[in-house]
Copies of this chain bind each other. A is one copy, B any other.
Amino acid sequence: MSDRPPLDALPDPMGLAFAEARAAAEAGEVPVGAVVMRGGAVLGLGRNRPRALRDPTAHAEMLAIRAACAALGQERLEGCDLYVTLEPCPMCAGAISHARIRRLYFAAHDPKGGGVEQGPRVFNQPTCHHAPEVYGGLREAEAAEMLRAFFRDRRA
């Protein structure tokens, strides 16, 4: 994203992902945000933008991964970690594997569309060539409430 912060040490990557998610909601997109980090440095930020970009692949994780790859000039993100406010869908889980992300931290579980701990469980398949370490459920209640509030407001 264009408002990428300087490559300083940043104490709260999940907080950055939440800020991206809130910006998505303000733009009328389902609030999901993501950030790719390496050693305390932000390499890529992303927020959910399929409507704005008219691109069904423009999920927060995809945009953060693509931004980080562009920043590094390489197609793999070995040693990098991804923080995202919602459990990745199968598409994003596949991209995380292709990018060789080291650790995945996510906030809310997604029983309806998740691809990591339910449904296809992409990283648990014998055909998955790289699986990150997965840490789910960080600030889960806060992320779930953000999503609930977004859909409640849209129905109102």
Enumerate chain A interface residues (CB-CB to B < 8 A): 50-51, 53-58, 62, 65-66, 69-70, 73-77, 89-95, 97-100, 111-115, 118-122, 125-129
> How far does the alpha carbon of A118 sit from the alpha carbon of B94 in the complex, in Å?
14
Chain B contacts for A77, CB-based, 8 A: 56
The binding surface of chain A is classed by DSSP as loop
Chain B contacts for A66, CB-based, 8 A: 55, 57
| Shortest 10 CB-CB contacts between residues of A and residues of B | A91-B94, A120-B120, A119-B127, A56-B98, A90-B94, A119-B125, A56-B99, A54-B75, A56-B75, A50-B75
Q: Which of B57, B62, B69, B93 contacts A90 (CB 8 A)?
A: B93
> How far does the alpha carbon of A27 sit from the alpha carbon of B33 in the complex, in Å?
35
**A127 engages B113 (CB within 8 Å):** yes
Chain B contacts for A91, CB-based, 8 A: 90-95, 97-98
**A120 engages B115 (CB within 8 Å):** yes
For A62, A89, A121, which residue has the most chain B Cβ atoms within 10 angstroms? A89
16 A-B pairs besides A90-B97, A91-B93 with CB distance below 8 A are A51-B75, A54-B69, A55-B69, A56-B65, A57-B95, A58-B75, A90-B90, A90-B94, A90-B125, A92-B94, A94-B94, A111-B127, A119-B125, A119-B126, A119-B128, A120-B127
Kindly provide the distance from the CB of A125 to the nearest chain B CB, expressed in whole angstroms.
4
